[in-house]
């Protein structure tokens, strides 16, 4: 794939290089208006850059869009290349799903918060699990000490999942679950509860994060080596395409890559290259591209640089359309259209003057909406200190409602389409991402690139560069390296320290009450299946229904697959 083929023939030149040909009028304006003005009062800085250190010009004009075609590069909403959004009416038809990520303590605690959020007008659920659950350990495992119920809800078995969704109609409410390495197990628990509620699997909707590649790259919550991990992911693709046609079996995530310190272009490129990797593995399994691709969804960060983020979302849709259409030959428009969830940037929140975080989050959320997101989580003002209080979480939800119902930005589709700046930046961000995608192709794909620490190193470099620029005050963070003030401490959420004890007690009771023989049989059959090549989802489902715990099921797979240790780079 040559670079030129990706963009019709766009040549934009950010540093005002030789390819940029200003019109006679622009050249005249520069001589007669701009230059005298610069002589009188120079600009604030020599170089203006995005938060990702990407250079931005003083002014964008038609000269920056030479070769750009409104027909080919912009198109119409709901139509390739989807630059303007994936639906023809966008938010005039239906607003984005307001989906606040929540979870803490026991299943009872989180069930209560979920029911509160639904009563306040939230339109979908999103489950945060605690670290032991994310790592496939039961709450009473030695390594779970101090972590139970802290970063999310503790779910060790189907019994916990039953409590988590008590009195929540799974047939009507879509649920997103942020779970990766043990995703197949947690999903099986969810499906088992849905079955008990009498909800039809063909109709239930939701999203499983299930993106193991970004775990190796950024968030580091992996259990098994890449090969068997990818097999588990493809097992869920196959199972989902058959059994749960409305469920997104994966949310290919840039969020964590960005939080780990990447630039916007790296976030975009690594995420989409991860997407390519999943498609390639699924095709190798023999799946039909148009069977599983409509169930792939994406998840991006909404960071603080307003236009860079909007350009990123627009470029993402163009790249994915081109990739699915040209690289993989997908025929269904549902395979071409990139649907995504967005979360505002946790790493942009400051512990200092925390009420300022409401403003940061509002701007970031606005960028996500202007970029055409399908669902959105807005962070709470107190998250640089702890998990959010109900008070803080409510303001975060209200922020979305104000954007949706008061700001007016939902009245028209892609309000920034055609802006010289936004279109130029979209082109440039897209080109930057293609360059990375080609590099990773040349390294033999993302799994190979990860094993060589390539994306990890790129991100660590960018994270360090950013820290240095903040330390040197080249980038200003309000309340942190400038505009500093004394302040009163914030009231924060206290996690009940008896959670671990209560969970351990519940597990003890579960192990005593269930049929040990049945659990044993189911785990044996899972182990045997794991040694072969068949789809593991049905085996995991049966083990879950016998109340085998998360830790027991993950251990059975650890026995067969082994575990993964990364080469730590600093």
Partner 1 sequence: MTDKKIRVLIAKPGLDGHDRGAKVIARALRDAGMEVIYTGLRQTPEMIAAAAVQEDVDVIGLSILSGAHNALCPRLMELLREKGMGDVTVLIGGIIPEADIPSLKKVGIAEVFLPGTSTQDIVDFIRKRFAEAQKA
Binding site for partner 1 (CB under 8 A): 131-132, 134-135, 137, 143-147, 150-151, 215, 219-222, 259-261, 347, 349-352, 384-387, 460, 463-464, 467, 470-471, 477, 479-481, 489, 492, 495, 565-566, 568-570
Interior angle at CA 301, CA 135 and CA 271, nearest 5: 70
Q: Where are the beta strands (DSSP E) in 167-243?
A: 175-178, 206-208
CB of 216 to partner 1, least distance (A): 10
Contacts of 110 (CB under 8 A, 6+ apart): 102, 103, 104, 127, 152, 153, 164
Measured from the CB atom, is 77 or 479 closer to partner 1? 479
CB of 566 to partner 1, least distance (A): 7
CB of 131 to partner 1, least distance (A): 4
Cα separation, 282 vs 231, whole angstroms? 9
CB of 261 to partner 1, least distance (A): 5
Q: Do residues 250 and 297 make contact, with C-beta atoms less than 8 angstroms apart?
A: yes
Measured from the CB atom, is 384 or 404 closer to partner 1? 384
Q: What residue spans of 337-419 are helical by DSSP H?
A: 356-370, 390-405
CB of 289 to partner 1, least distance (A): 32
Q: Do residues 415 and 366 make contact, with C-beta atoms less than 8 angstroms apart?
A: no
Question: In the beta sheet, which residues pair with residue 495?
Answer: none
Measured from the CB atom, is 386 or 404 closer to partner 1? 386
Measured from the CB atom, is 203 or 465 closer to partner 1? 465
Measured from the CB atom, is 512 or 568 closer to partner 1? 568
Cα separation, 194 vs 364, whole angstroms? 34
Contacts of 184 (CB under 8 A, 6+ apart): 210, 232, 235, 236, 536, 537, 540
Cα separation, 462 vs 464, whole angstroms? 5
Measured from the CB atom, is 443 or 490 closer to partner 1? 490
CB of 145 to partner 1, least distance (A): 5
For 166, the enclosing helix (H) or strand (E) is: none
CB of 479 to partner 1, least distance (A): 8
Structural tokens at position 350: 């400051």
CB of 490 to partner 1, least distance (A): 8
Measured from the CB atom, is 220 or 285 closer to partner 1? 220
Instruction: State the CB neighbour count (10 A cutoff) for residue 435.
Output: 13
Direct distance between the N- and C-terminal alpha carbons of the chain, in angstroms, rounded to an integer: 33
Measured from the CB atom, is 51 or 134 closer to partner 1? 134
């Amino acid at each position: 794939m040559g670079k030129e083929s990706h963009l019709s023939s766009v040549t934009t030149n950010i540093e005002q290089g030789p390819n940029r040909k200003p019109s006679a009028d622009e050249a005249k304006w520069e001589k007669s208006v701009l230059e005298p003005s610069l002589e009188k009062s120079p600009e604030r800085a020599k170089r203006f850059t995005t938060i990702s250190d990407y250079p931005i010009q003083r002014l964008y004009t038609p000269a920056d869009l030479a070769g750009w075609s409104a027909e080919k590069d912009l198109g119409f909403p709901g139509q390739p290349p989807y630059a303007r959004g994936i639906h023809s009416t966008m938010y005039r038809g239906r607003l984005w799903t307001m989906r606040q990520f929540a979870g803490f303590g026991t299943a009872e605690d989180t069930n209560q918060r979920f029911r509160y959020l639904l009563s306040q007008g939230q339109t979908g659920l999103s489950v945060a699990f605690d670290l032991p659950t994310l790592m496939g350990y039961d709450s009473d495992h030695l390594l779970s000490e101090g972590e139970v119920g802290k970063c999310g809800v503790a779910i060790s078995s189907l019994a916990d999942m039953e409590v988590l969704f008590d009195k929540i109609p799974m047939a009507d409410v879509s649920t997103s679950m942020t779970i990766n390495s043990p995703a197949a197990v947690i999903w099986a628990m969810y499906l088992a509860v849905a079955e008990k509620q009498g909800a039809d699997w063909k109709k239930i909707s939701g999203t499983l994060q299930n993106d193991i590649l970004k775990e190796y790259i950024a968030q580091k919550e992996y259990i098994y080596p890449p090969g068997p991990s990818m097999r588990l992911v493809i097992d869920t693709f196959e199972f989902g395409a058959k059994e749960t046609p409305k469920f997104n079996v994966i949310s290919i995530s840039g969020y964590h890559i960005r939080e780990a310190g990447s630039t916007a272009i790296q976030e975009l490129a690594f995420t989409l290259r991860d997407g390519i990797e999943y498609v390639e593995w699924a095709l190798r399994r023999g799946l039909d591209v148009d069977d599983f691709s409509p169930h792939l969804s994406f998840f991006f960060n909404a960071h603080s640089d307003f236009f860079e983020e909007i350009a990123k979302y627009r470029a993402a849709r163009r790249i994915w359309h081109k990739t699915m259409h040209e690289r993989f030959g997908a025929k269904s428009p549902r395979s071409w259209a990139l649907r995504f969830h967005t979360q505002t940037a946790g790493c942009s929140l400051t512990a200092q003057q925390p009420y300022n975080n409401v403003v940061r989050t509002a701007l970031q959320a606005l960028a996500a909406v202007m970029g055409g997101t399908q669902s959105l989580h807005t962070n709470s003002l107190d998250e640089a200190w702890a998990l959010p209080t109900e008070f803080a979480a409510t303001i975060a939800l209200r922020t979305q409602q104000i954007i949706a119902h008061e700001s007016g930005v939902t009245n028209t589709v892609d309000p920034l389409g055609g802006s010289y700046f936004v279109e130029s930046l979209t082109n440039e961000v897209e080109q930057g991402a293609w360059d990375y995608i080609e590099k990773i192709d040349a390294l033999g794909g993302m799994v190979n690139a990860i094993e060589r620490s390539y994306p990890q190193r790129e991100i660590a470099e960018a994270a360090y560069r950013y820290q240095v620029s903040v330390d040197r005050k080249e980038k200003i963070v309000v309340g942190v390296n400038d505009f500093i003030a004394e302040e009163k401490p914030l009231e924060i959420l206290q996690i009940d320290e008896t959670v671990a004890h209560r969970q351990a007690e519940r597990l003890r009771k579960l192990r005593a009450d269930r049929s040990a023989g049945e659990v044993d049989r189911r785990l044996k059959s899972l182990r045997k299946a794991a040694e072969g090549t068949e789809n593991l989802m049905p085996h995991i489902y049966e083990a879950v229904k016998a109340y085998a715990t998360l830790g027991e099921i993950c251990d059975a797979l650890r026995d067969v697959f082994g575990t993964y240790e990364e080469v730590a780079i600093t």
